[in-house]
Amino acid sequence: MSNKQIPYHVGLIIDGNRRWAKINGKAIFKGHKQGAKVFKIVSLGLFERGVTCVSAYLFSTENWNRSKKEVSYLMGLATKAVSYKLSDFNKLGIKICVIGTRDNLSKKVIKAIDRVEAKTAKNKRGTLLICFNYGGRQEIVDATKAIVRSKIRPEKITADTIASKLYAPDIPDVDLVIRTSGEQRLSGFMLWRIAYSEMTFVRKLWPDVTLEDMDNVLLDYKNRERRFGC
């Protein structure tokens, strides 16, 4: 598969960790732990297959509504991941960027995020964009606030103006969105950047996803004819 047939930016809506745990008679935390392992395998595999940018929806602003115990576990898992588990990405020259609001995040989590972003800032091979404490509507609200603070005259505001105020504005639009677990909704993922994205919904729960599944998705993408409003 040539690079021209590979999506530049793949967005992952990771779904099904909790259901996987319940089906397999395991604690919910085991589902998240297994999901983290699969995330590393799949995202590294996508980069190895020629994808330049991988964005992953790992924790939404709505996820705070889960139990305190589960949220605490997810925060700890995220801290460990960005501190110790993402070294393979750095070795491959992958830049890691975490987007979302920092409201409600602990100092420990923020420190871990700042550390991994600084450590990988000069990497050029590709970008892993982690959507953490992220909401698509909130991103657009924050972009709007940034435009107001910039005092740009209304008649001067264009789509490019808004795009320049998004989180990580250098990241291009998403070419392909993949959601697992059989659910067919976007849940607020990258609302601005997915205007013309191709969509694929995989029935498997995230912890059961394999690189073979990703190969099948990429093959399907290759055979599609993308249209941008034409």
| Dist. CA 92–CA 111, nearest whole Å | 23
The residues, ordered by sequence, that sit 6+ positions from 170 with a Cβ below 8 Å of its Cβ are none
Catalytic residue from among 3, 17, 24, 63? 63
Report yes or no: 110 and 139 within 8 Å, Cβ to Cβ. Answer: no
Catalytic residue check, 17: no
Gyration radius (Cα) of the chain, Å: 18
Q: Are 168 and 97 in contact (CB under 8 A)?
A: yes
State the CB neighbour count (10 A cutoff) for residue 36.
21
- Take residue 9 and report the two structure tokens written for it: 């930016």
Q: Which residues contact 91 (CB under 8 A, 6 or more apart)?
A: none
| Catalytic residue from among 3, 15, 208, 216 | 15
Nearest to 55 by CA among 179, 210, 228: 179
Annotated active-site residue 160? The verdict is no
Positions marked catalytic: 15, 63
